[in-house]
Amino acid sequence: MKGLRLLLLLLALGFVAAPVSAQQNEMITPRLSFHFGLSQPPPGDRMLPRVSRQIVFSVDDAKIISKMEDGNVVQWDLENRNEKYITTTQDLFGYSPNRNLLLVRKENDDVTLIALDTNQETILTNGEFENGSLSADGKFVALSRGDREIEIWDVDQKQLRKRLSTIEPVRNGLAISHDGQYVAAAEGTYRDGEGHRTKVEVWDIERDTPADLIDTGIILGVWNLYFSPDASMLAVDSQIEAQAGIRVWERSTRRQLVGIDSLEAYWARAVTFALDGKYIALGDESGVLILSNIKEDREVFALRVETGIESLALSHDGKYMAVGLFDATVQIWELKSDL
């Protein structure tokens, strides 16, 4: 990122981030509100069972839903702060805010949709799928076993809509756009003398056109792959020469919009779009948390929390941020904003 980084690396105890320059007329002030879970010392060689690997806000922003390291999926109420167990999943975790619908893979490998309003479960298919994504409108599911094939399923019809073939195995992520029109896969390879490489393919499944290829070059791999809410952008976390960062591309042109490199951590494990795609947030395993303005390619605020960051989510109204940490807690930050 260009210019002097805003990182003062203060401990996240009521920390107030400095605003960007006054002429931008833009201020987002993060304040730590409270946290869920009991803090435990991270063992270093493995994740604690209750580390939140993925987090989403419910459609009304009143709850957060988390998939933990041990596979348990729980729901926390932000008002009364109660925890509710939902299910246990093998790898898969997806959420549709439009339908309040959860995507999981049960112990018997049933790919299952759970209506959180009624607890009704619907089996979509069966298989050892490693990657999956549920469109925000709840109409389509993308699935991959980690090989060179992606299945697109119609939720309402409970039918396989089509199969997509990939250049390399889908090892690093799978995403479907909010309306189900676009699918992206992060595909990883390792070859002697060349090392790791990641390619990102993007399909328009409505038009049935050939995939667009984003060659990420020397990026060693990714943890996350996301479409912006309007599907105009695609984001991944990156890792180049043992230093973490992120990339944001314009989907239609494959032009890079944001590139953050040379963070202290080896991996940036968490990334998410915020406020209808105007911002991108990232968290890395050293505890650095950054919110960046995509159009201007600059940091709005940056801070450091006490331990590594595993997951991030922004509320739909942009007022709250959930941060899953290596110590098995989830911090809830209030984002005071003039936006």
Show the tokens assigned to 58: 């419910």
For residue 194, what is the DSSP state?
T
In a domain, 266, yes or no: yes
150 domain residue, yes or no = yes
List Cβ neighbours of 206 (8 Å cut-off, separation of 6 or more). Answer: 181
Identify the burial level of 331 via C-beta atoms within 10 angstroms of its C-beta, where 0-12 means exposed, 13-18 middle and 19 or more buried. Answer: buried
Nearest residue to 78 (alpha-carbon basis) of 98, 52, 60, 92: 60
Q: What share of the chain is helix, strand, coil (3-state, %, to 5)?
A: 0, 50, 45
In a domain, 1, yes or no: no
- In whole angstroms, give the CA distance from residue 53 to residue 325: 9
pLDDT digits (tens, 9 = 90+) for 66-79: 999 999 999 999 99
Contact by Cβ (8 Å): 65, 55:
yes
Task: Tell me the per-residue pLDDT of 1-38, one tens digit each, with 9 for 90 and over.
Answer: 443 344 434 333 344 443 333 234 467 889 999 999 99
CB 338 within 8 A of CB 27: yes
Backbone φ and ψ for 179, nearest 5 degrees, come out as -95, 0
Three-state DSSP at 274 gives: strand
Spans of the chain, pLDDT less than 70: 1-26, 194-196, 217-220, 337-339
The predicted structure's pLDDT at residue 217: 65
Distance, first Cα to last Cα, the chain: 23
Please give the pLDDT value at position 195.
Answer: 66
Which of 315, 314, 316, 288 is closest to 302 using CA atoms?
288
What confidence score (pLDDT) does residue 25 get? 47
**Predicted pLDDT at 216:** 75
Residue 16 has a pLDDT of 40
**Residue 284 within any structural domain of the chain:** yes
In a domain, 156, yes or no: yes
Edge to edge, the sheet with strand 52-57 lists 52-57, 63-68, 72-77, 83-88
For residues 277 and 255, the answer to whether their CB atoms sit within 8 Å is: no
CA distance 275 to 278: 6
Which two three-digit tokens encode residue 256? 């890079």
Residue 268 lies in a domain: yes
**Residues 33, 333: contact at Cβ < 8 Å?**
yes
Kindly report the CA angle at 119 between 118 and 121, in degrees rounded to 5? 120
**pLDDT score recorded for residue 10:** 38
Q: Is residue 13 one of the residues assigned to a domain?
A: no
Q: What is the pTM of this model?
A: 0.89
- Is 9 domain-assigned? no
pLDDT for res 296: 86
- Structural domains of the chain, count: 1
Provide the pairing of β-strand 279-283 with 270-274.
Answer: antiparallel
119, two tokens: 């607890």
- Indicate which CATH number applies to the domain containing 210: 2.130.10.10
Range(s) of the domain holding residue 267: 22-337
Contacts of 79 (CB under 8 A, 6+ apart): 62
> In angstroms, rounded to a whole number, what is the distance separating the alpha carbons of residues 20 and 238?
25
Cα torsion at 61, 71, 311, 114 (round to 10°)? -30
pLDDT score of 191? 73
